[in-house]
Amino acid sequence: MKQERSNIKKILGLLEREYKGAKVALDFETPLQLLIATILSAQCTDERINKVTKSLFKKYKKALDYADADLNELEEDIRPTGFYKNKAKALKNCCIKIVDDFNGKVPDILEELITLPGVGRKTANIVLGSAYGRQAVAVDTHVNRVSNRLGLADSDDPDKIEEELCGIIPEDKWTEATHWLIQHGRKICNARKPLCVQCILKNHCKFYNTKNLPQRHGDTEILKTS
């Protein structure tokens, strides 16, 4: 059952109080840098990506630099990120299209961004929200998990989740709310062992209130009944 709108306001208020000022964890200065970092971040930690891009961004400054790069050399430059062969091809092909079709500038329109090789709606919305200052909901694994557990969404399809969240979160909060949900997923609502007892949202959470989850009282755990 989906959350009532009154609960959604309370959830967003609590998230804002806890994570106000949260932003994308990837280091970047330009839309191109964020695009590159986001593509590289698949199946890799943000911390490792930031270490790799620190030198990568000094070597490759423009889309043309990636487009003209020797593929084997680019693979070695990004090897620590994992799946480096596929990622190198994606980066090179993405930047070739940016150079050929968009005059070397990362597009700032969703429909154009998703035409780039290696770029889906999540990556496009991250670039729009964090590099271009637009309002956008980016559905990563954390947003998927947390929004479903809270009852803000009811789907495993990222595109459907994005649509559902955009329908209930005020548009002027889309980008911020994305960061709040991601931070909450990392800090509290993790995949295997969510810290439900510590969660500021437990009283408004569908997952917590429909499962027999342990509640701690001192050193004693008792089962919560539905």
What is the domain-level CATH number for residue 9? 1.10.1670.10
Tokens of 46: 């943000």
Residue 198 lies in a domain: yes
The domain tally of the chain equals 2
pTM here is 0.90
| pLDDT recorded at residue 87 | 98
Closest CA to 78 of 97, 51, 104, 98: 51
Residue 57 shares a structural domain with residue 118: yes
Task: State the residue range of the domain holding 48.
Answer: 31-130
Residue 221 lies in a domain: no
Residue 83 shares a structural domain with residue 143: no
- Show which residues are catalytic: 122, 140
Please report, in tens digits, the pLDDT of each residue of the chain (226 residues total). 567 667 899 999 999 999 999 999 999 999 999 999 999 999 999 999 999 999 999 999 999 999 999 999 999 999 999 999 999 999 999 999 999 999 999 999 999 999 999 999 999 999 999 999 999 999 999 999 999 999 999 999 999 999 999 999 999 999 999 999 999 999 999 999 999 999 999 999 999 998 755 554 433 333 333 2
Tokens of 172: 């002027």
List, as one string, the DSSP characters of the chain: -PPPHHHHHHHHHHHHHHHTT---SS--SSHHHHHHHHHHTTTS-HHHHHHHHHHHHHH--SHHHHHTS-HHHHHHHHGGGSSHHHHHHHHHHHHHHHHHHHTTS---SHHHHTTSTT--HHHHHHHHHHTS--------HHHHHHHHHHTS---S-HHHHHHHHHHHS-GGGHHHHHHHHHHHHHHTS-SSS--GGG-TTGGG-HHHHHS--EEEETTEEEEPP-
Question: For residues 75 and 155, what is the distance between their CA atoms, to the nearest angstrom?
Answer: 36
What is the domain-level CATH number for residue 94? 1.10.340.30
Residue 44 shares a structural domain with residue 80: yes
CA distances from 83 to 12, 76, 80, 112, 119 (A): 36, 11, 9, 25, 16
